[in-house]
Every structure is written in C-alpha cells, then in structure tokens.
Amino acid sequence: MANVSHPRGDISSHPDVNEMRDRYARMVGGRDVALVDGPVFLLGLYCAVSPWILHYTTSQPALVTHNLVIGIAIALLALGFTITPERMYGLSWAICAMGTWMIISPWIVGTSPDTGVVLNSIIIGALAVVLGAMCAVTARGSTPRA
C-alpha cells in the first residue's frame, strides 16, 4: 500500500498540487466583488423594511410600496451577484441607478415628506450609489478581457 499521508503544512510534494492550485485560482478568480455583495444585500433588506422601522407607513403609503419594491430589487440583484457573478456583474450599474432614484424619490413618489423620510432615502440612495459603483469598478477590473 502506498504512503499517501503528507506532513502537515507541506503540500508541495502532493501528486495533484498543480491541479489543486489551478482549481483554487479558477474558484477565487474574479470574486473580488464578493466583499460588496453582502453590504448590497443588507442595504436592500433595510430599504425594504425601512418604512416600518421609521414608522412612516401611514404618512407616506406610496413610499412604503416604493421602498419595499426597490429594496427587494436591490437584494435580488445582490443575490444574483453572489449566485451567478459572471452573468450579473454587467448589472452592477443598475444599483447606482436605483440609488440615484432613491435620492430623488421622496419628492416624486411621496407627498410632502418630512425630514426623517428624506434623510432615510438620501442615505439609502447614497450608499447604493457608492456600493454599486464599487461593485461595477471591481467587477470590471476582475473580469478577464478577450
């Protein structure tokens, strides 16, 4: 029977070391944006539930539905980035567009919003623009060029 055990920490003599290194490089390659996926998902969840957290469900019913739909869309984009990154990173700029829309939406969708509603939308929108831009720039740098 062959001795297949190796000393701990030493993989250089393993018979499949080249294949394992190539496989690791393929798995990790292009996933620089993974650090942004989680915050984008959490931002989407917060956007969806923020009307109930800040208690403006009765004063701004149109913004409640709006934030719920936009928040779910942002969270679904983040899940798509995590599950199928090679297909979804072209949509990274969509988060920036949604963030820009969130910044101006209280005045367009809402009816005379108060300071809390406006600040909430501006903060969510600004974070979405920043995270979307980070995701897009990082994805552009990590995708292989043909």
Placement of tokens 């980070």 in the chain: 134
Alpha-carbon gap, residue 74 to 128, rounded angstroms: 9
How crowded is residue 39: how many other Cβ atoms within 10 Å of its Cβ?
A: 15
Alpha-carbon gap, residue 32 to 11, rounded angstroms: 25
**Residue 51 — very low, low, confident or very high, per pLDDT cuts 50/70/90?**
very high
Report the half-sphere exposure of 17 (CA within 13 A, side-chain side): 8
pTM: 0.74
Nearest to 121 by CA among 58, 43, 36, 38: 43
Distance of CA 72 to the CA centre of its chain: 12
Predicted confidence (pLDDT) at residue 99 exceeds the cutoff of 60: yes
Predicted pLDDT at 25: 67
**Is residue 33 within 8 Å of residue 85, measured between CB atoms?**
yes
**Residue 146 — very low, low, confident or very high, per pLDDT cuts 50/70/90?**
very low
Percentage, residues of the chain above pLDDT 90? 47
pLDDT digits (tens, 9 = 90+) for 55-83: 988 889 999 999 999 999 999 999 988 88
**Is residue 113 within 8 Å of residue 107, measured between CB atoms?**
yes
Torsion on CA atoms 74, 75, 77, 81, rounded to nearest 10: 140
Predicted pLDDT at 136: 81
Amino acid at 98: M
**Residue 9 — very low, low, confident or very high, per pLDDT cuts 50/70/90?**
low
**Residue 104 — very low, low, confident or very high, per pLDDT cuts 50/70/90?**
very high
